Amino acid sequence: MKRILIVEDEDALCLLYKEELAQEGYEVTTAGNAEEALAALKREPFDLIVTDIRMPGRDGVELITEIMGLRKDIPIIINTAYQSYKQDFMTWAADAYVVKSSSLVELKAKIRDLLNR
């Protein structure tokens, strides 16, 4: 079973993503901020990370930089409310960029693509 780490400071979205991705057959762990995410990454292996950008404490960009130092091979999806960050996402070494939406179809499709690569 593929393991996904969700980094998201909104509790409702953590819950939603966890349930919806579990339904798709993934094992999901959630982290409310960058610190929790890094702790989880040191504790257990993941096949993919979905992270928000604007979070309290260290933001998603700093988190991605840290992850690159730990594990370069792990695919990362940026999932944020800000469309305006989209043009920069490649420079942050993320693999995909999905703007938050009332439908999870795009996020689920990107996760499937990256895990089947």
Partner 1 sequence: MIERFSFLAPNFQSQEPRELALLSIISQSFFQPFSIEDNLLVILTALTSGSGVGFNRAMLFRTDGDKLRGEAWLGPRSAEEAKTIWEVLSTPGIGYVEIIEHNRWLLTRQPESLSQIVKPLVYSLSQDNLTIPATSAARKEMLLVQNARQEPLIDPKFLEAIGVEEFLCVPLYAQDEIMGLIILDNAYTKRHIESKDIKLASLCGLMAGNYMYTTLLHNKMIEMERLAALGEMAVFITHQLRNPLTAIGGFTDQLLTNRIGEAKKRRNLEIIRKEIRRLEDVVTKLALFLKVDVRKTVPFDLKSTLLGVIQNPDLTMKSGGIEVHLDIEERLPKVLGDPTYVGEAFRNLIANAMEATAPGGRVTVQGGREDQNWVVVCVQDTGKGMPPAVRDKLFSPFFSTKDKGMGLGLLFVKRVMEASGGRIEVDSEVGRGTSFRLFFRSGQERSAEA
Count of alpha carbons within 13 Å of 101, Cβ hemisphere only? 11
Q: What angle do CA 82, 6, 115 make, to 5 degrees?
A: 100
* 83 lies in the binding site for partner 1 (CB under 8 A): yes
Closest to partner 1 by CB, 45 vs 56, is 56
From the list 39, 62, 41, the residue with the least C-alpha distance to 52 is: 62
* 81 lies in the binding site for partner 1 (CB under 8 A): yes
Quote the tokens at residue 22. 């579990």
Burial class (CB in 10 A: 0-12, 13-18, 19+), 104: middle
Judged by CB under 8 A, the stretch of 38-46, 58-66, 69-77, 82-90 that binds partner 1 is 82-90
Closest to partner 1 by CB, 35 vs 44, is 35
Judged by CB under 8 A, the stretch of 36-44, 63-71, 89-97, 101-109 that binds partner 1 is 101-109
For partner 1, the binding residues in 19-38 under the rule CB under 8 A are 19-20
- Three-class DSSP category at 67: helix
Instruction: Give contact residues for partner 1 (rule: CB under 8 A).
Output: 9-10, 12-13, 15-16, 19-20, 54, 56, 81-84, 99-104
